[in-house]
Chain A
Amino acid sequence: MSDSAISTRIGEPVRRKEDLHFLTGKGVFSDDVSLPRQAYAVIARSPHAHARIRGIKTAATLAVPGVVMVLSGDDLRADGLKPIAHMPTSTHHAETALVNSDGSEIFTAPRYALAIDKVRNVGEAVAMIIADSVAAAKDGAEALEVDYEILPSVTATVAAAEPDAPRVWDEARSNVCMDAQVGDPEATETAFASAAHVVKLETWAQRVTGVTMEPRAAVCEFDAATQRYTLYTASGGAVRLKEDVAHVLGIASKAVRVVMEDMGGNFGTRGEVYPEFILVAWAARRAGRPVKWTCERSEAFVSDYQGRDLAVTAELALDAQGNFLAMRGSNIGNAGSHTVSFAPLKKGLGIMSSIYRVPAAHFRARSVVSNTMSTRPYRSAGRPEVIYVMERLIDLAARKGNFDRAEIRRRNLLSEAELPYTNQFHMTYDNGAYHKVMEEALTLANWQGFERRRIDARKRGKRRGIGVANYVDTSTGAPRERAEIIVHPEGKIDVVIGVTENGQGHETSFAQLITEWLGVPADDVRLIDGDTDIVKVGGGAHGGRGMRMASLVIWNASKQIIEKGTRIAARMLECDPSSIRFDSARFIVEGTQRTVGLFEVAAAAGQLKDLPDDLHGSLSACSEEIHHVASFPYGTHVCEVEVDPELGIVDIVGYTAVDDVGRAINPLLIHGQVHGGIAQGAGQALLEQCHYESETGQLLSGSLMDYALPRADNFPFFKTGISEVPSTTHPLGIRPAGESGTTPALGVVVNAVVDAVAEFGVRHIEMPMTPERVWRAINGKQPPSSVSTSR
């Protein structure tokens, strides 16, 4: 056993076990895997947003030296590949269910790994060129002749919902594939009619993308003898990917083995199967040799899933004292060319009123298809958008009704006595100290002392602003998870689990659970999560489910280990199992000095001849759970900015967060998650946007030269505090921490910037708040015609 001088129990800021191999360059990312005899694939992609494919001529491509094969949609059809099994309407029991209000069926678009007949977004895969080298494959792609008939396209969200918009799918009645309503329209109208103040916001939580630092890559080999495919790549979940690939290829899922080692970021945009993963498998079989594909960054901008893109019109009604009476409005989510996921729209709508007391509400929610890359959940799917809307509405109301911004929040924030609380969107929040956390954040940020800082900044020619935002987050995700714990006599424990590691530090934090419950130091715990020949069940990492689901099944399996071990120990110690207690990896006969260690018991399990069947063999246990209960992280963020009023440049000069995680397993990792989450949220508020040119549907932000990713000099050090009010909906009290940083960040940064420039009459600024946007707002200027920023 390792030196256990440093505790690795729950609550300790344990340094990560996984660091060593990353720090020394020994990480194994997808492109680091190469197989003997591998061929290289390059994808020919659509240069048009919307076009009919009249024909593809491959002769010139096949004539390029080194080119092995060209595969197109026709080949895909001939080989009988099925559409990808995206499940946009799959739902979690705890979530708001959305159905079309006219009773019709929700339209879902079939998506093939290569375009068949039509392309519907710039970058859609049209053909795959396999060659002996990447360079030869690129030459081949250049030589490919695709005859396109260009069709009218639509990319903007509101425009796509118009009845006369260019139709993305002829098979659908319109581009609106879902049109649902939630809430009570009459009660809402009544409340609005009696309101002293009504504020309205029309806004767009703009399209952004994940930009994981590791571009996607995949290599697959097909073994003709066993008829099995082995796919080396990285994704949000290995098991789901295996099933998705098998489904498209029309084979049994056991014929596919997915092997994932390290993954250079996920954030949801890498959380689902991609056409290229299927294509390399299909091509490996056809080519009779392994096929590898590595995405380039510019290619990632057009082919990675994108996120957000929600157009909102929302109103909040208040009485004369500032009590919220009702809210109403309309949300339109842009699904992109194919309906990969409606989750962001649905999950956002469910918490439209956040953790405030809103007695009446009515919202319409639509999802539209458009000629853009498809969207899917991106860090905290759907929630940052609606929290942004709510927190903006509150600041607008405070300004209009002359209420103090903190006070109006206090007045409407749900109290502990009101919890659990079911909001008007049918979501039931568990419990929490909403007021206490808000006060802690305001104190940590020195909210009271702000006016002095505002004056100091003015002396330097700057305008300083502060903003506050409360939030709630709904964590659901795939409800099924499984863990297997195997205690090896040589002093090691294996944990096999379907929650995949994408940088969260599970190898360390899951091991801490084992330390806590089985008394074994983290260094002696090995996590196995990425090989589907070992991991048979599990939902991967998304939706704040990692620690939440893993802790449940690891807890159950640990209890079984102790129970089984107790029975074996009783045999070894010749006593009754009821007289044995387990403590610090030892089974102890109560009131005696007689003990036996966990690993000795594991050895005995294999050696003792006359054990019952369920104990004989290895000391192992398995737990599988289906947990359909949501969890509700919440908290308060405060942001402080300085604005150069002449040029519109915004600097974030202070950022404070207090997030309730229920029970902190590893505070070091939680703070890290929050830091990264803040950066992604603030990045959306200030810098990032997928710019589609409205006329042509071209993506103008197609490289890191034009898509602004936050850099180190965009931020100060963050002040992050952790609150621990155990969740009543999780047996161990855990609330997820991975999305907390992002959820309120959009709203709080915008609130701070608007506060800074409110003296110029500014009431709202759209995201990203670029220097030009801020300058225009200060000067009351309309957006320039040259820039396509319409929602």
Chain B
Amino acid sequence: MYDFEYHRPANVEDALKLIGERGEAKLLAGGMSLLPSLKMRLARYSDLVDLGGIAELNGIRRDGNALVIGAMTPHAVVAASPEVNSTIPALASLANGIGDPLVRNRGTIGGSIANSDPAADYPAGVVGLGATIITNQREIEADEFFLGLFDTALAPREIITAVRFPIPRKAVYLKLRQQASRFAVVGVFVARMGNGARVAVTGAGPSVFRVKDAEAALARKFDASVVKGLQIKQDNLSSDIHASAEYRAHCTSVMIGRAVTAVS
């Protein structure tokens, strides 16, 4: 790891000030992806600004027909939260499958989303539920947030403070795990919302994406029969030593069917 200066501000304003003042500053959330990549010397920063000391970023609350989860809320807290389990159990179950129990004790929703790993779980939940990402500057719709491989709509001095999830009628997250890393080879989030259905896929491509064909069919009739044999285009899917694009496309289709059955 290259050396850096470490900071632990107590509030968002101080964190913003630090990243504004410092040359190559980087925000540190749970650090479960950032620290391993720094250890491999894949990145170099002058300063790390740890958000772990900012109490206001941590916590889960109900806000009307939505659930608001603070950016620094660890996965384990989301997974065990009675509030999440009673409103969006699929989200609790998603959080409960991220990394491993020790990673879930430290990794955070904000960190995961800001990193936009192509195989991370949270992006599927965020897009699948049509959540809103709340930052110090603005609110960003999920569909506008994930731009590509490790790329998001966040501006340089923008900090995610919370994510607001609308509560669906029912939702489910299914994941086919890569056998070494246990990240998603394919992760499918299907939500039956008040006004239709949303289908989001992670792991299969360079970034989370929605399957609009499936959503349209499900909007007409929410039943597994309408997505049976659904063809997923391979063009934009990933191929690596763990799975080919062809297999990822197949799994995406099968898992959407299974998810719809589970939600129905």
Choose from A707, A708, A784 the contact partner of B247 (Cβ within 8 Å): A784
Whether A135 touches B3, Cβ cut-off 8 Å, given contacts A772-B244, A784-B247, A787-B241, is yes
Q: Which residues of A contact B211 (CB under 8 A)?
A: none
Interface string of B158-191 (1 = CB under 8 A from A): 0000000000000000001011110000000000
Chain B residue nearest to A138 (CB atoms) is B41
Q: Which residues of A contact B250 (CB under 8 A)?
A: 775
Q: Is B204 an interface residue (CB 8 A)?
A: no
Whether A771 touches B176, Cβ cut-off 8 Å, given contacts A701-B241, A787-B241, is yes
Q: Are B254 and A646 in contact (CB under 8 A)?
A: yes
Interface string of B1-27 (1 = CB under 8 A from A): 101000000000000000000000000
**Interchain CA distance A560-B244 in the complex, whole Å:** 65
Choose from A135, A691, A784 the contact partner of B1 (Cβ within 8 Å): A135
**Interchain CA distance A289-B232 in the complex, whole Å:** 62
Closest Cβ of chain B to A509, distance in Å, is: 34
Whether A786 touches B244, Cβ cut-off 8 Å, given contacts A135-B3, A298-B40, A646-B254, is yes
Interface residues of A in 772-791 (CB under 8 A from B): 772, 775-776, 781, 784, 786-788
Q: Is A87 an interface residue (CB 8 A)?
A: no
Q: Are B241 and A708 in contact (CB under 8 A)?
A: no
Chain B residue nearest to A786 (CB atoms) is B239
Q: Is A704 an interface residue (CB 8 A)?
A: yes
A-B contact count (CB 8 A): 58
Closest Cβ of chain A to B107, distance in Å, is: 15
Residue of A135, A138, A687, A705 with highest tally of chain B CB at under 10 A: A705
**Interchain CA distance A770-B178 in the complex, whole Å:** 10
Q: Are A770 and B242 in contact (CB under 8 A)?
A: yes
Interface string of B231-263 (1 = CB under 8 A from A): 000000001111111110011001100000000
Q: Are A707 and B3 in contact (CB under 8 A)?
A: no
Q: Are B239 and A784 in contact (CB under 8 A)?
A: yes
Q: Are A687 and B179 in contact (CB under 8 A)?
A: yes
Q: Which residues of B contact A647 (CB under 8 A)?
A: 176, 251, 254-255
Q: Is A762 an interface residue (CB 8 A)?
A: no
**Interchain CA distance A771-B178 in the complex, whole Å:** 10
Closest Cβ of chain A to B245, distance in Å, is: 7
Closest Cβ of chain A to B11, distance in Å, is: 32
**Interchain CA distance A707-B241 in the complex, whole Å:** 10
Q: Are A706 and B241 in contact (CB under 8 A)?
A: yes
Q: Which residues of A contact B176 (CB under 8 A)?
A: 647, 649, 771
Chain A residue nearest to B257 (CB atoms) is A646
Q: Which residues of B contact A707 (CB under 8 A)?
A: 180
Closest Cβ of chain A to B174, distance in Å, is: 10
**Interchain CA distance A691-B240 in the complex, whole Å:** 11
Closest Cβ of chain B to A773, distance in Å, is: 9
Closest Cβ of chain B to A596, distance in Å, is: 58
Q: Is A572 an interface residue (CB 8 A)?
A: no
Interface string of B122-142 (1 = CB under 8 A from A): 000000000000000000000
Interface string of A508-535 (1 = CB under 8 A from B): 0000000000000000000000000000
Choose from B3, B178, B180, B244 the contact partner of A784 (Cβ within 8 Å): B244
Q: Is A709 an interface residue (CB 8 A)?
A: yes
Whether A691 touches B244, Cβ cut-off 8 Å, given contacts A647-B176, A647-B251, A709-B180, is no
Question: How many residues in A have their beta carbons less than 8 Å from beta carbons of B?
Answer: 27
Residue of B1, B247, B250, B254 with highest tally of chain A CB at under 10 A: B247
**Interchain CA distance A138-B41 in the complex, whole Å:** 10
Q: Is A700 an interface residue (CB 8 A)?
A: yes
Q: Are A708 and B179 in contact (CB under 8 A)?
A: yes
**Interchain CA distance A740-B242 in the complex, whole Å:** 30
Closest Cβ of chain B to A206, distance in Å, is: 12
Question: How many residues in B have their beta carbons less than 8 Å from beta carbons of A?
Answer: 22
Closest Cβ of chain B to A449, distance in Å, is: 30
Task: Determine chain A's interface SS by DSSP, over half rule.
Answer: loop
Choose from A646, A701, A787 the contact partner of B239 (Cβ within 8 Å): A787
Q: Which residues of A contact B243 (CB under 8 A)?
A: 770-772
Chain A residue nearest to B185 (CB atoms) is A771
Q: Are B179 and A700 in contact (CB under 8 A)?
A: no
**Interchain CA distance A298-B41 in the complex, whole Å:** 13
Q: Which residues of A contact B254 (CB under 8 A)?
A: 646-647
**Interchain CA distance A76-B261 in the complex, whole Å:** 67
Chain B residue nearest to A646 (CB atoms) is B254
Whether A700 touches B241, Cβ cut-off 8 Å, given contacts A647-B251, A772-B247, is yes
Chain B residue nearest to A788 (CB atoms) is B241
Choose from A142, A649, A704, A772 the contact partner of B180 (Cβ within 8 Å): A704
Whether A691 touches B180, Cβ cut-off 8 Å, given contacts A135-B3, A647-B251, is no
**Interchain CA distance A771-B1 in the complex, whole Å:** 36
Interface string of A678-706 (1 = CB under 8 A from B): 00000000010001000000001100111
Q: Which residues of A contact B247 (CB under 8 A)?
A: 771-772, 775-776, 784
Chain B residue nearest to A714 (CB atoms) is B179
Interface residues of A in 739-791 (CB under 8 A from B): 770-772, 775-776, 781, 784, 786-788
Q: Which residues of B contact A649 (CB under 8 A)?
A: 176
Closest Cβ of chain B to A264, distance in Å, is: 20
Chain A residue nearest to B244 (CB atoms) is A784
Interface string of B74-92 (1 = CB under 8 A from A): 0000000000000000000
Q: Are A786 and B181 in contact (CB under 8 A)?
A: no
Chain A residue nearest to B1 (CB atoms) is A135
**Interchain CA distance A138-B176 in the complex, whole Å:** 37
Chain A residue nearest to B243 (CB atoms) is A772
Closest Cβ of chain B to A652, distance in Å, is: 13
Chain B residue nearest to A711 (CB atoms) is B182
Chain B residue nearest to A700 (CB atoms) is B241
Chain A residue nearest to B246 (CB atoms) is A784
Closest Cβ of chain A to B63, distance in Å, is: 36
Closest Cβ of chain B to A279, distance in Å, is: 22
Q: Which residues of A contact B239 (CB under 8 A)?
A: 784, 786-787
Residue of B243, B245, B255 with highest tally of chain A CB at under 10 A: B243
Q: Which residues of A contact B41 (CB under 8 A)?
A: 138, 142
Q: Which residues of B contact A788 (CB under 8 A)?
A: 241
Closest Cβ of chain A to B179, distance in Å, is: 4
Q: Are A787 and B244 in contact (CB under 8 A)?
A: yes
**Interchain CA distance A756-B239 in the complex, whole Å:** 27
Closest Cβ of chain B to A736, distance in Å, is: 31
Interface residues of B in 190-241 (CB under 8 A from A): 239-241
**Interchain CA distance A700-B241 in the complex, whole Å:** 8
Q: Which residues of B contact A142 (CB under 8 A)?
A: 41
**Interchain CA distance A786-B249 in the complex, whole Å:** 15
Interface residues of B in 56-85 (CB under 8 A from A): none
Closest Cβ of chain A to B242, distance in Å, is: 7
Closest Cβ of chain A to B218, distance in Å, is: 20
**Interchain CA distance A691-B179 in the complex, whole Å:** 14
Closest Cβ of chain B to A690, distance in Å, is: 11
**Interchain CA distance A706-B56 in the complex, whole Å:** 37
**Interchain CA distance A104-B177 in the complex, whole Å:** 51
Interface residues of A in 132-182 (CB under 8 A from B): 135, 138, 142
Chain B residue nearest to A773 (CB atoms) is B247
**Interchain CA distance A615-B101 in the complex, whole Å:** 62
Q: Which residues of B contact A709 (CB under 8 A)?
A: 180
Interface string of A458-471 (1 = CB under 8 A from B): 00000000000000
Q: Are A786 and B245 in contact (CB under 8 A)?
A: yes
Please list the 3 inter-chain residue pairs (A to B) with the smallest Cβ-Cβ separation, ordered nearest first.
A784-B244, A708-B180, A708-B179
A-B contact pairs, 21 of them (CB 8 A): A135-B3, A138-B41, A298-B40, A646-B254, A647-B251, A647-B254, A687-B180, A691-B241, A700-B240, A701-B241, A704-B180, A705-B180, A708-B178, A775-B250, A781-B246, A784-B244, A784-B246, A786-B239, A787-B240, A787-B241, A787-B244
B interface residues (Cβ-Cβ under 8 A, vs A): 1, 3, 40-41, 176, 178-181, 239-247, 250-251, 254-255
A interface residues (Cβ-Cβ under 8 A, vs B): 135, 138, 142, 298, 646-647, 649, 687, 691, 700-701, 704-709, 770-772, 775-776, 781, 784, 786-788
Given A704-B180, A706-B241, A786-B244, 7 further pairs, Cβ under 8 A: A701-B180, A701-B241, A707-B180, A771-B176, A776-B247, A787-B241, A788-B241
